[in-house]
Structure 1
């Protein structure tokens, strides 16, 4: 995964590994000891523990170590080789090539050397099926936190066999990692009674106290401590006087006792804790009444807390001096409690903070921050832009015993995609495609109003039969128009999103007075003017008869895309609508007094339906039958399309919590690749 220089936005439906990515990088790149459990390993690796044990039990410890699962990450750092001084990056640079501009570090969480015998202690001599493997996992699982360790090496980009061991302190100095969690403790006053924003002020002061001498931050911290020392001195004098007056009374009870040792009073005020314990945020109210922090709206408090947290992270970074290092800041679901416009403004301004924060501090140095934002907000995805978006595509396994894994896609690398058009289009609408289980692309206003009603009718019929329904899945409906649907084809294929394209056949024939194609009924047509259909079949010479034959038994399908256009309600030779309105009328003839059509030739029936459709405005037609009237039949081409879309069922989304030890691995567990 490549990080954007400023802001990278991770999108995808639930349980695809967005938070897992942030968690693994946060844990692996931070200093100190880490303790991972069996549940932190991909379910795909469970069988490898058994394979490693079988090798070990046969005396082949070297091969067993190569098979034993580990968790690892490799980080590539780009740098300016003309900088002269590399600062904290220096220990990570192994190569001697003056033209090289990359440093590589590899971090492993693997079994300690010489610990394999202890790791497999008391394991059964033979493993029988899944029961034996589950028993082995129950034995080795609790030993992982104690017998596994994290190690790091720096690798030569010009020679991958050349590397050297480095400490996690070296890594942490070159890559600072911070995390803004989604659960920020703002919406539960009973469980978290202390003001959360006041705590951030404490961290800001602590950073200032550690700043270099002569800096603005250090001067502020020193002046605060000096002011508190004066207060403490006056307070101590006053308390000692109070005790002196109280002492005779205390002595009547035999105190101070042994050796007549007396006591004196001393008060200590820690400025580092004072801001947290005794400083609160107040908002101006009416008539001079100030309102506490918890009385402000959650949205305002959430935004203020994120900004102050980021500012405190910047202060910690700047206090380290001008040494070369990168600052990774993970922000989880910033959209919480923010209205849509504020979400878009936030993601737009996030990259600007890199310059604004140093300016606010009067500093000349830049903040080398890279933000990784995980989100489920279409508004944030809209504003971010294609180059910054990383889409997490879940690769589902058909085997229930195998884990699912996610592939991280860089939208800027999508082949054959008109990125400018799509970004502008998604910005004007909603980027729901990034978070949907499935999608339906439609032409215009009529379908946009009618399709949700058709889905509701479709689901109602299935639920009566005890079948699953589309309403149990997140289906995004996007209006793209017949002239633009084909532009989405490469993009949909890249996302790997199950999509139904509903479009009109739009038959046409050469006009009698000109050589131009003119709209006509289906059985009179010699061609189609629909670009979405032409691009689908990659054949501009297809006739309506060809299209009907291609869709006679099922809808046309390419990969994960299905195409639904008008077909006859009865046999292939029966009357067929050219647009949605025509098809709806032919599917419900009695509602339009066309029941006497029996015996008429097919072209005449199609023409009657077309003339009837012309009596309605498109929006009025859809509103009438989607809202006012309910007793109607869904046109057959839409019915078949919805059935196809429902049959392409995604894997069930399991709870984010991992399975209990020894359970059969479930398909909901995710391994990020």
Structure 2
């Protein structure tokens, strides 16, 4: 049995999403503010903490909540509104978590309370957790009573003080403000069984959770208590300088975690086993010896007490006694130490030096701490050691068939060097138990959210769930998110994994967290484009851009990924003109040349003839998919330059000669140049016609030119701020900047009665 997918509705940015989980590890990735934290918090609040706030309701529904309150205010008495209030008007706006399990035939006994029909045998089985009013009638009556009381108070104050009292906002100004204070008293999580036959696939990335029949009744108690054990490590509150997490009770230092693990699993004094008796006897002997030493040491001091007349003939004597327990031996800051290797005079290595825990590097401290947390989660689930010898059996003592572990942004605690180690080993650690391993009866599912390319680098593509921000669908709406399964983005799973292993994991994984991606042709662009952005496109420096050197002519290989992610993309590529006979040829008009660049032929602008590419419009170079997702291609086109005070047209073929044509005067003055730079300088000085200069630069570029060396030499000789950006590249970067400006303007909802400002001002 395992969780196949979850559907989250009306929770923060997640208005209606489906998230498919793998049977082992699932990784949530996406740009900032894309909904990853919302998803983790939904799982956490429904399954662990179970304490919501009004801010967890999707912002788009706040106006609806207040309209319900306004309708209640129209009633004259609490009794009337209590009778009239209906839960139906709440159903479409309530935070909801649907868990869909895959259950085998031999596991039905675990889910007997969730069966939709008596003839259900195996397969998909769903349960809904919904945060809803405990009693909508009583809530309506209480709200109206509070509202009428506030109005009465204001009326009485005005009668007593007149207009001098002014306008005072009294709580509650709106139903939203009422719930800000009393949500916990008026709402609760209730559980409902779902019908697998009514489960449908999402449409355009939007989940379609089934409607509950009017006759649906909540399941008593919580059927998940014996079905799923949930543990979590929270990014904001899981680790830190303090000794203990106040919210979850988990220790924050390795020493405290070791002591916590000892107390729960290993302490020999707690329900001792035969193997513990040797240790217990050793502790008793140590205590007897210490007691004897203490009384001998204090003998003279206690004798002096007799000078004050104590003890008398009937008074008990004073004895000093120590209490030694196994737990006490770990109850100090240096209980965990790190051995430091030392070299003897003979050259041999020995570990004779020890330092307390806090002298080790913080990243490794946190790695060890998180390891202990995972081990503690696993062994608590499996009732290891003393936990398995409890005399009374509760729901917490039953080994649930499924263990769900949630880890939010492990990079918040771990240095880059150890993030990859952690994600590689985390699941294996959770399964390292004699009853687990490959056992399919007891399953573990690990869910990790991350914003780290180091973590994503170690993940298989099948693990990735990409959170994409969606634009507001209309004026007055708010942006939401959708979740995309990337496991089959390049075709069947095996083909996707092959491409991932051969290319993406060997270069960059940061495109999963970027606002936009720039795909460039070669190393020279990779080196110089960031300088052009810093010098000429200030707004782009405020955005999270992924610059990927894939070879622009091969950019089309990433097309399925880019289109599935909906990631704003600029493809910077080369013209790659060629003839039918000999292959590569210098660009020229009217010679019937074609491009050898697959990106230009098959993606954008989907043209093969060089003459057609020269005439391509701005619209044909751009593919608009939706309001915030477009792809544009930038390649070399004819430009005019001035030679001997005469304007001539030249046809660049690569980034390097386009850069030279844009900066002729600067290149001609580079007397310290070497390699390709020096060849370019001489060509510019010696050739006075456009055709001759173009051919000279083309020949140099196609004679084993070292383009990365060219870019580095240019940076050493010339301040990049003084360089003019080639026109085709400048147009592309300008387009990207304008698109990101539009993308980052989020349409906020119109003001609603009783918004946050009224909350702050009312009393």
TM-score (norm 2): 0.72
Distance 1:180 1:371, change over 3 A: same
Distance 1:103 1:337, change over 3 A: closer
Partner of 2:128: 106
Aligned residue pairs, count: 630
Structure 2 unaligned regions, length at least 5: 1-18, 75-80, 152-169, 199-211, 246-250, 343-350, 389-396, 642-646, 669-682, 748-753, 759-763
Distance 1:358 1:17, change over 3 A: farther
For residues 297 and 183 of structure 1, the distance between their equivalents in structure 2, rounded to whole angstroms, comes to 20
> Residues 554-590 of structure 1: CA distance to partner in whole angstroms, max 9, x if unpaired?
8433431111011233499932212112212222233
For residues 633 and 442 of structure 2, the distance between their equivalents in structure 1, rounded to whole angstroms, comes to 50
Distance 1:121 1:481, change over 3 A: farther
Partner of 1:368: 443
Q: Is the 8 A contact 1:438 1:475 kept in 2?
A: yes
Distance 1:363 1:501, change over 3 A: closer
Partner of 1:533: 600
Q: CA deviation at 1:266?
A: 7.6
For residues 521 and 405 of structure 2, the distance between their equivalents in structure 1, rounded to whole angstroms, comes to 41
For residues 499 and 475 of structure 1, the distance between their equivalents in structure 2, rounded to whole angstroms, comes to 10
Partner of 1:326: 402
For residues 334 and 279 of structure 2, the distance between their equivalents in structure 1, rounded to whole angstroms, comes to 14
Q: Is the 8 A contact 1:45 1:69 kept in 2?
A: yes
> Residues 49-100 of structure 1: CA distance to partner in whole angstroms, max 9, x if unpaired?
11222343456522674368422211112222134x734x443445323532
Specify which of 162, 176, 189 is matched with residue 137 of structure 1. 176
For residues 43 and 141 of structure 2, the distance between their equivalents in structure 1, rounded to whole angstroms, comes to 30
Q: CA deviation at 1:436?
A: 1.0
> Residues 138-177 of structure 1: CA distance to partner in whole angstroms, max 9, x if unpaired?
3331111221112223334357758653355532221111
For residues 406 and 502 of structure 2, the distance between their equivalents in structure 1, rounded to whole angstroms, comes to 27
Instruction: Indicate yes or no: 2:368 matched with 1:304.
Output: yes
Map 1:57-76 → 2, pairs under 5 A = 57=73, 61-62=85-86, 65-66=89-90, 69-76=93-100
Partner of 1:575: 650
Partner of 1:343: 419
Specify which of 647, 661, 668 is matched with residue 586 of structure 1. 661
Q: CA deviation at 1:437?
A: 1.3
Specify which of 574, 589, 607 is matched with residue 695 of structure 2. 607
Q: Is the 8 A contact 1:332 1:374 kept in 2?
A: yes
Specify which of 525, 528, 544 is matched with residue 447 of structure 1. 525
Instruction: Indicate yes or no: 2:23 matched with 1:5.
Output: yes
Partner of 1:521: 587
TM-score (norm 1): 0.80
Moved more, 320-329 or 237-246: 237-246
> Residues 504-548 of structure 1: CA distance to partner in whole angstroms, max 9, x if unpaired?
11122233xxxx5442224245311100111114746x3122112
Instruction: Indicate yes or no: 2:236 matched with 1:197.
Output: no
Specify which of 320, 339, 360 is matched with residue 284 of structure 1. 339
1:578 partner SS = coil
Map 1:398-417 → 2, pairs under 5 A = 402-414=477-489
Moved more, 428-437 or 67-76: 67-76
For residues 708 and 684 of structure 2, the distance between their equivalents in structure 1, rounded to whole angstroms, comes to 22
Distance 1:241 1:107, change over 3 A: farther
For residues 550 and 415 of structure 2, the distance between their equivalents in structure 1, rounded to whole angstroms, comes to 26
> Residues 466-521 of structure 1: CA distance to partner in whole angstroms, max 9, x if unpaired?
xx52111111110111342101112111111111000011122233xxxx544222
Q: Is the 8 A contact 2:232 2:407 kept in 1?
A: yes
For residues 734 and 726 of structure 2, the distance between their equivalents in structure 1, rounded to whole angstroms, comes to 12
Q: Which has the higher contact order (CA 8 A, sep 6+)?
A: 1
Distance 1:446 1:190, change over 3 A: same
Q: CA deviation at 1:289?
A: 3.2
For residues 20 and 141 of structure 1, the distance between their equivalents in structure 2, rounded to whole angstroms, comes to 19
Report the RMSD for the aligned CA atoms in angstroms. Answer: 4.3
Structure 1 unaligned regions, length at least 5: 460-467, 655-660, 666-673
Partner of 1:671: none
For residues 366 and 278 of structure 1, the distance between their equivalents in structure 2, rounded to whole angstroms, comes to 41
